[in-house]
Amino acid sequence: MIATILRILLIVCLVHLCFPTPSLAYSSRPLLALEQFGITGIWAVDCSIAPSEFSRNLVSIIAEDKQGRAIGGTYIFVGRNWINELTIIDAHILNARTIELRSGVATNPMYWSIVNKRRDGRTRLQEAGKIDGKTCVHEGINVVTHQETPPIEKCRHGDAASNVMEPLARSAGLLF
């Protein structure tokens, strides 16, 4: 009886290793996993406020570039510059409310992060770090500033944040 149960468990494990389900596997096309999770688009702490030197409204964009890559960028208005623009190399949906991302430059993963969806539709950076082992965010707390990572909401076309960000993203070659 025990031998039969162990054989069944072994077969189940082998099937999952050889034929992983999409929700448990890294996507060969990260953009697809990001779209399935619902995290593409423009996100901000407050979509009703346009990013400016005075608002400090952090805006993040996850979109496809002209080469078909998933690009994640964070934008603050200081000098109208992008900060932390990275290619999302892998995306792994852990469950209905959590996705893990690996990002870097070209095909060199440098960072990992885990994003959680809250019940109110906002997302929040829960864990983040560098591939070399340095932790940046742990349990939603920035380890340098000791502040909670802010929840961000998905902006709609016509929101103040979108009105500023959409033209800038398009000029940077991102597609919506």
Q: Tell me: the pLDDT tens digits for 92-146?
A: 999 999 999 998 876 667 888 989 888 888 999 999 998 888 899 999 999 999 9
> Would 144 be classed as within a structural domain?
yes
Domain count, the chain: 1
CB neighbours of 170 closer than 8 A, spacing ≥ 6?
A: 176
> Would 100 be classed as within a structural domain?
yes
> Would 56 be classed as within a structural domain?
yes
> Would 10 be classed as within a structural domain?
no
For 33, 74, 174, the CA distances from 153, given in Å and listed in that order, are: 19, 14, 20
> Would 63 be classed as within a structural domain?
yes
Tokens found for residue 75: 């934008």
- Give residue 161's domain range: 23-175
pTM attached to this predicted model: 0.75
Q: Which long-range contacts (CB under 8 A, 24 or more apart) does 130-138 make?
A: 131/102, 131/104, 137/113
